[in-house]
Amino acid sequence: MQTLTNLIVDAKLNDRVISDAQLARLVEGTDQRRYQLVNRALKAGELIRVRRGLYVLDQKFRKSPCHPFSLAQMMEHGSYVSLESALSYHGWIPEAVFTTTSIVPGRKAREYLHGKFGSFTYSPLAIRPGGFLDLVERRQVDQQTFLLASPVRAFMDLVCLKKIPWQGLGWIESGMRIEPESLGTVTAAQLRVLKQVYQHRRVRDFIAELAIALALEPGTGKAAGDVADE
């Protein structure tokens, strides 16, 4: 076992995504010594580079597999898993999702492809100040943490990103393959929160129509300060 691998295991970081800053605290001596230890562990296949400055140990040194949602969180700080990945995780859509999809603050979309861990996409949305993490929760799986959109937040993020117009419950159930039982878990309180999240009037109108169709608070779908659709 490589020296760096031993240090990581002894520090009980073997199931974590490890940053350069953490390695700097673990390895005594110069930066050059740390770089050498990192390169040796990489060449030995004991350490895997996720992206620049981020690493995980090979599975044989871990207690549980590296969760892609935890990786996504570490690759772009401030992001949360949403869209198809969250909908599949919550059981709202039947399809398997092979790309980890996240929402990221700011205006720049990003995409990373890793030979071992697959693809990761990060999409920005027009969200009102203070609403970025509404109906987003912190989850932990095998001591790996990540931020995950609730089902209805992930659904509305998808509506916002893909500019999906309201076409009725029937289309949601047939076109997006979301079961009525899943939609039945949506609450009026959740929709009231979401109406304050998105800037585009089109999305807010969608939420209002969804509330009417589900026999919840109808709302108006409009408010001062809405951003016109592009």
Instruction: Dump pLDDT digits (tens) for 49-99.
Output: 999 999 999 999 999 999 999 999 999 989 999 999 999 999 999 888 899
At residue 222, the pLDDT reads: 46
CATH class of the domain comprising 68-213: alpha beta
- Judged against a pLDDT cut of 70, whether residue 20 lies above it is answered with yes
- In the chain, what are the domain boundaries? 3-61, 68-213
Cβ contact 30:106 at 8 Å:
no
Instruction: Please provide the average confidence, as pLDDT, over all residues in the chain.
Output: 92
Report the alpha-carbon distance of residue 174 to residue 132 in Å, rounded.
29
Q: Write down the pTM of the prediction.
A: 0.89
At residue 95, the pLDDT reads: 83
Report the alpha-carbon distance of residue 68 to residue 113 in Å, rounded.
12
C-alpha distance from residue 130 to each of 133, 134, 200 (Å): 8, 8, 15
Backbone φ and ψ for 133, nearest 5 degrees, come out as -105, 15
Instruction: Dump pLDDT digits (tens) for 100-133.
Output: 999 999 999 999 999 999 999 999 999 999 999 9
Mean local confidence (pLDDT), 147-155: 98
Report the alpha-carbon distance of residue 134 to residue 193 in Å, rounded.
7
Report the alpha-carbon distance of residue 27 to residue 33 in Å, rounded.
8
Tokens 């089902």 belong to 151
- Judged against a pLDDT cut of 80, whether residue 228 lies above it is answered with no
User: Please, what is the Cα angle at 71 between 152 and 27, to 5 degrees?
Assistant: 150
- CB atoms < 10 A from the CB of 136, how many? 20
Backbone φ and ψ for 4, nearest 5 degrees, come out as -65, -40
At residue 219, the pLDDT reads: 47
- Judged against a pLDDT cut of 60, whether residue 224 lies above it is answered with no
